[in-house]
Structure 1
Amino acid sequence: MKALTVVIGNYNYARFLPEAIESALAQTQADLLVIDDGSVDESREIIERYHDRFGERVRPVYKANGGQCSVYNLGLALVQTEFVLFLDSDDVLYPGAIDEVLRAFASGDFVKVQFKLRVIDEDGTDTGALVPGATPPSDCATILRRGWLYPSPPASGNAYRVSALRSVFPIPLSAEQRKAADFFAIYGVALTGRICALDQPLGGYRVHRSVERKTAAGAVSLGIGNCENVRDVEQSFPWRWETLRHMTSTRLGEELPARFIDYSYEKNRLCAHLYEASTAKRWHWLLFRSRDYFRSLLGNPFWDARKKIGVMGLTLMCLVPSVRLNRFALRYIANPLFRRPTVAR
């Protein structure tokens, strides 16, 4: 048995799943568990082909659809290794990634090792962007207790000590809120010990939703990362924080503040409310509804002055009565696909 298990959670991502499985199989020090969450595309057939070819190296689990939170709960219950990494089925690990992660775990008493991810597009082309854009300290608990969500990559860029994650999990399941399981793992585990943040990119984070698209009603909406519905994310984030507070209070005896501070969340709100809005509405929102946004920007403990000034400049472009400038600024803030050099302005 290896020291780490890569758990691939999949739901209807047959077009990306083979690349994710291949990238996990290329890791010499990792077991592989593939959990299919009730897919209705060709995912199961793909998993079976890999299982037939590689035998126990590809351990398949099939379940009824229950959402990402149920996949994390089940995966954590099934792993028998000391460490675990949850790889999204549309992402990839680079060769040697798990070797680097295990070396980092061996270098100190860490509960999580995170690493940067290269942002890739639907075809796997490197966009030039990296996530996260800042490096957190090893003691993220102190910052979290003040309500700040520390910089972390999405799910695929985090490996956990299983015992630490089990002290926080399982995630309470909800029929309404079934996504963003990595939120509870990333921030919950930070209260159990130190975190090691590697600066080198060891995987690819695939952003495959367009920068801009039209709704069924014909209105233009802005694509923010892989979000299907930006307003749903805005509404669900407070629920996530309240759920995390409940988990850490009942299982760790940690009392987190009632409110959280996170630039990523606030920028999503900014972009959702200002994109394609009239100049008057943009002015009104920035003058009267942007307090939390500017607090998360100017008070950000993870950014230097240069980055804050740059983002402030982009934000203030929204005050200019120019549709073109407004679109440019919000596309740049919202979606890393827009930042690649080949995108026409």
Structure 2
Amino acid sequence: MNQITVVICNYNYEHYLAASIDSALAQDYPGTTVLVIDDGSTDGSRAIIEQYGNRISSVFKRNGGQVSAYNYAIEALETEFVIFLDSDDVLYPSAVSEVMRLFAHGKWAKVQFRLDVMDGAGMPTGAYVPHSEPPADCGILLMGGWLYPSPPASGNAYRVSALRRIFPVPEEGVNLYGADFYAIYGVALSGPIATVPKSLGGYRVHNADGATVSFANSEQINKAPRAFNMRWAILRNIARVRLQLELPPTFHDFSHEKASFCSSVYHATFLTRWRWMLHDSRGYLHAIVANPFWSVKKKLATLMLSSLCLVPCSPLSDFVVRYISNPLARRRAAGR
């Protein structure tokens, strides 16, 4: 039987950590082991981890950020397969069995699955991510600069040998976080991607509010574009040096462009919205029109919604931005 490790990287998430560990231990796949890497937490995380004794393996390291935790784990892993479970997320009991069934019948570099969105208290919101499924050969599209639809970190199972072609990733300077970016997209350069078309876990969103443009737990909306650009530059260098592959200087991704759209248009004046649409919306519109993962219907709907930001009605414009950027806003609108 192939073995798999569920790695939980934790930093100061004592309120959610036990639920995450319990979900990993509750997997119905017998060949599952659990490794918890605590990245220098200053809360009560250590005491929680120690309560599990030899049911899990644990590492307590100095705080170095998510990238350093991934680097450590990928070097130390003794299994050929791994899931990196965020310490505030959970896996459903059959998650590992489902992904290992696919790994057993294909040379997949990664198997991904949907995650149900939970609020901060762990209650389901009715939303899930992602909404689109990528083709198996995401590497070809990545070579053209397209980031493929992927769940957040916890919704991905990897072949460790594929990850080791990308990691370790530089930890210096501002590149402390976003390790899942390199795993999700870098691994597609090493082999095909498989998708389980159903939810196998829960993704906790701490600001789960459909009344805001903010969605997910990553960088603030105005910082995300800069962070993605930096990570793409680092991934390009890794691909060039280690894989002898040349990625394009820029990339295309609706989530990335959506962040620019939101930070520029939300709560903006009528003139500012028009100015952005006329002068700065090229990347945003290209990510819609040329999107290889979307249907024509979805493209037209998104373009029509985006055009409503040009009407001289700020409340309507702000509603449209929230609707486009935050899946939870769509749930609220549908429930009215």
In structure 2, the CA distance between the partners of 1:208 and 1:199, relative to structure 1 (3 Å rule), is same
Q: 1:307 Cα deviation (Å)? A: 1.2
Question: 1:280 and 1:157 mapped to 2: Cα distance?
Answer: 41
5+ residue gaps, structure 1, are 214-220
Shift of 1:161: 0.6
Q: Flag the 1:319–1:276 CA change in 2: closer, same or farther, 3 A.
A: same
Percent identity reads 51
Per-residue deviation, 1:50: 2.0
Q: For residues 210 and 27 of structure 1, do their structure 2 counterparts lie closer, same or farther at Cα, with a shift above 3 Å needed? A: closer
Q: State the AA in 1 paired with 2:60.
A: Y
Q: Over residues 182-202 of structure 1, what are the superposed CA-to-partner deviations in whole Å (9 max), with x where a residue is unaligned?
A: 110111111111111111111
1:18 correspondence with 2:9: no
Matches within 5 A, 1:1-345: 3-29=3-29, 30-51=32-53, 55=54, 57-211=55-209, 222-341=213-332
Normalised by the length of structure 2, the TM-score is 0.95
Amino acid in the other structure paired with 2:246: E
Q: Across the two proteins, how many residue pairs are aligned to each other?
A: 334
Letter in 2 for 1:312: L
Tell me if structure 1 keeps the 8 A contact 2:209–2:329.
yes
Structure 1 stretch 181-190 or stretch 171-180: which is displaced more?
Answer: 171-180
* In 1, Cα distance between equivalents of 2:122 and 2:331: 13
Q: For residue 117 of structure 1, give the secondary structure of its aligned residue in structure 2.
A: strand
- How much does 1:156 deviate? 0.5
The answer to whether the 8 Å contact 1:127/1:339 transfers is no
- CA distance in 2 between partners of 1:310 and 1:204 (Å): 28
Q: CA deviation at 1:344?
A: 8.0
Question: How big is the shift at 1:206?
Answer: 1.2
Contact 1:6–1:86 at 8 Å: present in 2 too?
yes
Check whether the contact 1:224–1:268 (CA below 8 A) recurs between aligned residues: no
State how far apart, in whole Å, the 1-side matches of 2:213 and 2:254 are: 18
Contact in 2 for aligned 1:225/1:334 (Cα 8 Å): no
Q: Judge conservation of contact 1:211–1:331 (CA < 8 Å) in 2.
A: no
TM-score (norm: length of structure 1): 0.93
**In 2: Cα distance, 1:241 partner to 1:82 partner:** 26
1:327, CA displacement in angstroms?
A: 1.9
